[in-house]
């Protein structure tokens, strides 16, 4: 059982992030199954409620679940890897509070007020008269709280990496190392045989975390800024003076929004994941990372790619310039297959060199995550073709074969690999009680995630649109039944994992991660009769 009193403040805050993340993940999969059931033609809810769930679903899943788990892990790992204390423990606590509260408010904006501008929030739908100022205002406030938490996380992390540095290591070289530039320098020296390769200042996982956080900051800046605009409109609506929705060009809005939103995919789903793979590969194998300089250089190249890749979301917009469609939407997007392929190769090669390896839960989930990306990334490259996009755009293929495959299987299983690796570190070597439940979690999540994504992908190829309800239409019923079946496996996987974790740390330990409980009363010893 978990003895919370023996935990460090850093262990405790990381566990708080993890618990909140897993709770929000449970909400996410429940919402997903409700939408699947409704698409099978079970009349579970009215259209407004359905679309409100659809809008909250990705926000809760990405920011409430994925970001929370990543942030908790990095708050623990960065001080550990750099051998420093956290820059501010109070800011770490404030991060999870803001993000948890913000995610809850965003969810409530749909549940209570039926805010349903969907994940894209395409202008001018969010500020139209269709939604009440309460709906728009609550969504904006929740989103601002989330992005404030993101800013605080990045500030706290950067402070940890760069503060209290040795005088012999000024800020400039540390910053260059964090960007991965010393990887390019070492490659140049090796290829030209001019000079000697130098040991990089920053560990490779720190490079990935710093590099991914740059994208995360820009994403938060865009989403937070747009939310301020939403709140501005809501405030005027409260006063009975609604503003015109025509002052923002819809196409420009789409480009700005997708530029920021796609940085989630690159910062979180690609860069953070690549860094996690590298770290886990070295921990599992006990070997140094294969082609470390190439890995560092690839992270820097991805910086250029991620800032110019958003155009593939707008290939079907007639007003979008053709040059942007070709350069950003096709060519730059296709290059992500190279950068992600490098990460896959380096990780697998590192593991291969250390064979034979015991197939631990950490290794299995790591390989499952790599498999998810190996299936989901090519699916995204396929739809980022002008010809194929005419067929696949705005269909279930986009969210199934591409998005859910990458997030549920690729990102999800990578995060579970990290969770199972960090669990004994965060709990002072508490052992999970059931290996059988861990194995069931792996297979049920892997099969369920791939099966559901593939079923949705086939529905998309048959013409089933996303963001569309088909009442009384049995055209896509078979695919949705198959998707729901495999989705049910993921629910069982989640329940198995949660039961295993809670049973291992105890209900009391789980509660005391957040609040201190009174000491349990000791049983009175029987009196000794003389």
CA–CA distances in Å: residue 279 to residues 69, 148, 362, 373, 458: 16, 28, 12, 17, 35
User: What pairs with residue 395 in β-bridges?
Assistant: 465
The 3-state secondary structure of 422-444, one letter per residue: HHHHHCCCCCCCCHHHHHHHHHH
Shared-domain flag, residues 23 and 72:
no
Shared-domain flag, residues 262 and 297:
yes
Q: Count the neighbouring beta carbons within 10 Å of the beta carbon of residue 1.
A: 12
Using left for φ > 0, alpha for ψ between -120 and 50, and beta otherwise, residue 254 falls in: alpha
- Quick one: what percent of the chain has pLDDT higher than 90? 55
> Residue 500 sits in a domain of what CATH number?
1.20.210.10
Shared-domain flag, residues 352 and 366:
no
Q: CB of 152 within 8 A of CB of 184?
A: no
Shared-domain flag, residues 143 and 258:
yes
Closest Cα to residue 314, out of 386, 362, 246, 266? 386
Residue 176 has pLDDT above 90, yes or no: no
What range defines the domain where residue 317 resides? 66-357
What average pLDDT does range 369-374 have in this prediction? Answer: 94
Give the chain's mean pLDDT: 89
- Has residue 61 been placed in a domain? no
In terms of C-beta distances under 8 Å and separation of at least 24 residues, what long-range contacts does 188-197 make, across chains too?
A: 190/293, 197/293
What average pLDDT does range 161-167 have in this prediction? Answer: 68
Q: CA torsion 263→268→270→275, rounded to 10°?
A: 140
Closest Cα to residue 75, out of 148, 180, 158? 158
What average pLDDT does range 101-127 have in this prediction? Answer: 90
Residue 390 has pLDDT above 80, yes or no: yes
Residue 165 has pLDDT above 60, yes or no: no
Closest Cα to residue 219, out of 276, 265, 159? 265
Q: Where is mean pLDDT largest: 98-102, 257-261, 310-314, 407-411?
A: 98-102
C-alpha span between 298 and 331 (Å, rounded): 17
pLDDT digits (tens, 9 = 90+) for 488-516: 999 999 999 999 999 999 998 899 999 88
User: What pairs with residue 465 in β-bridges?
Assistant: 395
Q: Does residue 509 have a cis bond before it (omega within 30 degrees)?
A: no
Boundary-marking domain end, from 331, 357, 383: 357
C-alpha span between 39 and 212 (Å, rounded): 36
Shared-domain flag, residues 388 and 344:
no
Q: Predicted confidence band at 522 (pLDDT cuts at 50, 70, 90)?
A: low
- Has residue 56 been placed in a domain? no
The 3-state secondary structure of 42-90, one letter per residue: CCCCCHHHHHHHHHHHHHHHHHHHHHHHHHHHHHHHHHHHHCCCCCCHH
Contacts (Cβ under 8 Å, ≥6 apart) of 290: 346, 349, 350, 353
**What pLDDT is attached to residue 474?**
84
Boundary-marking domain end, from 342, 357, 372: 357
Residue 128 has pLDDT above 60, yes or no: yes
**What pLDDT is attached to residue 120?**
83
Shared-domain flag, residues 250 and 268:
yes
Shared-domain flag, residues 88 and 22:
no
Tokens 């070597």 correspond to: 429
Shared-domain flag, residues 341 and 373:
no
In terms of C-beta distances under 8 Å and separation of at least 24 residues, what long-range contacts does 386-391 make, across chains too?
A: 386/315, 386/325, 386/326, 386/329, 386/330, 389/312, 389/315, 389/316, 390/316, 391/461
Phi first, then psi, for residue 395 (nearest 5°) are -110, 175
**What pLDDT is attached to residue 524?**
60
- Least confident range of 140-144, 254-258, 299-303, 412-416: 299-303
Shared-domain flag, residues 459 and 409:
yes
Shared-domain flag, residues 91 and 75:
yes
CA–CA distances in Å: residue 16 to residues 74, 255, 494: 13, 36, 18
Shared-domain flag, residues 120 and 234:
yes
**What pLDDT is attached to residue 525?**
60
- Has residue 528 been placed in a domain? no
Paired tokens of 116: 């349903």
Contacts (Cβ under 8 Å, ≥6 apart) of 190: 197, 293
- Has residue 422 been placed in a domain? yes
C-alpha span between 198 and 194 (Å, rounded): 12
Tokens 């501005």 correspond to: 232
Q: Predicted confidence band at 241 (pLDDT cuts at 50, 70, 90)?
A: confident
- Has residue 54 been placed in a domain? no
C-alpha span between 133 and 137 (Å, rounded): 6
Share in percent of the chain as helix, strand, coil (round to 5): 75, 0, 25
Residue 301 has pLDDT above 80, yes or no: yes
Residue 186 has pLDDT above 70, yes or no: yes
Q: CB of 310 within 8 A of CB of 254?
A: no
Q: How many domains does the chain have?
A: 2
pLDDT digits (tens, 9 = 90+) for 134-156: 999 999 999 999 999 999 999 99
Q: Count the neighbouring beta carbons within 10 Å of the beta carbon of residue 394.
A: 14
Q: Does residue 261 have a cis bond before it (omega within 30 degrees)?
A: no
C-alpha span between 21 and 63 (Å, rounded): 9
Q: Is 529 exposed, middle or buried (0-12, 13-18, 19+ CB in 10 A)?
A: exposed
Q: Predicted confidence band at 529 (pLDDT cuts at 50, 70, 90)?
A: low
Shared-domain flag, residues 155 and 19:
no
Burial annotation 283-296 (CB, 10 A radius, 16+ → b, else e): ebbeeebbbbbbbb
Q: Count the neighbouring beta carbons within 10 Å of the beta carbon of residue 198.
A: 11
C-alpha span between 310 and 327 (Å, rounded): 10
Q: Count the neighbouring beta carbons within 10 Å of the beta carbon of residue 191.
A: 8
- Has residue 482 been placed in a domain? yes
Boundary-marking domain end, from 330, 357, 384: 357
User: What pairs with residue 92 in β-bridges?
Assistant: none
- Has residue 50 been placed in a domain? no
- Has residue 520 been placed in a domain? no
């Amino acid at each position: 059982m978990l003895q919370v009193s023996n935990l460090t403040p850093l262990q405790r805050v990381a566990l708080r992030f993890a618990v909140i993340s897993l709770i929000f993940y449970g909400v996410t999969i429940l919402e997903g199954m409700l939408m699947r059931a409704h698409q099978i033609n079970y009349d579970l809810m009215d259209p407004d409620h359905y679309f409100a769930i659809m809008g909250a679903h990705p926000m809760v899943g990405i920011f409430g679940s994925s970001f929370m788990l990543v942030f908790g892990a990095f708050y623990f790992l960065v001080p550990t890897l750099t051998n420093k204390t956290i820059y501010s423990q109070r800011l770490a606590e404030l991060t999870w509070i803001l993000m948890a509260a913000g995610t809850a408010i965003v969810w409530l904006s749909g549940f209570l007020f039926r805010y349903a501008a969907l994940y894209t929030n395409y202008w001018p739908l969010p500020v139209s008269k269709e939604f009440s100022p309460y709906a728009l205002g609550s969504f904006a406030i929740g989103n601002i709280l989330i992005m404030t938490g993101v800013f605080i996380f990045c500030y706290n992390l950067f402070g940890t990496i760069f503060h209290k540095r040795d005088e012999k290591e000024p800020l400039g070289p540390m910053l260059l190392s964090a960007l991965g530039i010393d990887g390019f320098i070492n490659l140049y020296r090796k290829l030209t045989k001019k000079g000697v390769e130098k040991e990089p200042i920053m560990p490779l996982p720190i490079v990935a975390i710093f590099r991914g956080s740059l994208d995360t900051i820009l994403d938060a800046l865009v989403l937070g800024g747009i939310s301020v605009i939403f709140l501005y409109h809501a405030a005027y609506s409260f006063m009975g003076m609604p503003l015109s929705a025509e002052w923002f060009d819809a196409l420009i809005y789409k480009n700005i929004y997708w530029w920021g939103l796609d940085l989630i995919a690159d910062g979180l789903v690609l860069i953070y994941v690549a860094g996690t793979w590298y770290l886990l590969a070295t921990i599992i194998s006990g070997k140094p990372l294969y082609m470390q300089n190439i890995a560092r250089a690839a992270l820097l190249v991805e910086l250029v790619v991620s800032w110019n890749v958003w155009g593939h979301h707008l290939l079907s917009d007639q007003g979008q310039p053709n040059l942007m469609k070709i350069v950003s939407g096709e060519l730059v997007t296709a290059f992500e297959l190279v950068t992600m392929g490098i990460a896959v190769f380096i990780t697998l090669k590192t593991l291969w060199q250390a064979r034979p390896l015991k197939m631990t839960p950490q290794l299995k989930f790591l390989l499952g995550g790599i498999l998810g990306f190996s299936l989901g990334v090519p699916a995204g490259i396929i739809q980022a073709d002008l010809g194929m996009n005419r067929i696949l755009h705005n269909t279930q293929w986009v969210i199934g074969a591409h998005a859910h495959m990458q997030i549920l299987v690729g990102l999800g299983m990578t995060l579970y690999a990290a969770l199972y690796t960090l669990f004994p570190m965060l709990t002072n070597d508490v052992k999970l009680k059931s290996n059988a439940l861990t194995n069931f979690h792996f297979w049920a999540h892997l099969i369920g995630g791939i099966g559901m994504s593939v079923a949705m992908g086939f529905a998309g190829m048959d013409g089933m649109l996303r963001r569309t309800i088909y009442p009384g239409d049995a055209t896509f019923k078979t695919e949705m039944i198959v998707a729901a079946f495999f989705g049910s496996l993921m629910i069982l996987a989640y329940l198995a994992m949660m039961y295993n974790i809670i049973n291992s740390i105890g209900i009391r330990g789980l509660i005391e991660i957040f609040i201190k409980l009174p000491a349990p009363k000791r049983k009175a010893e029987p009196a000794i009769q003389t």
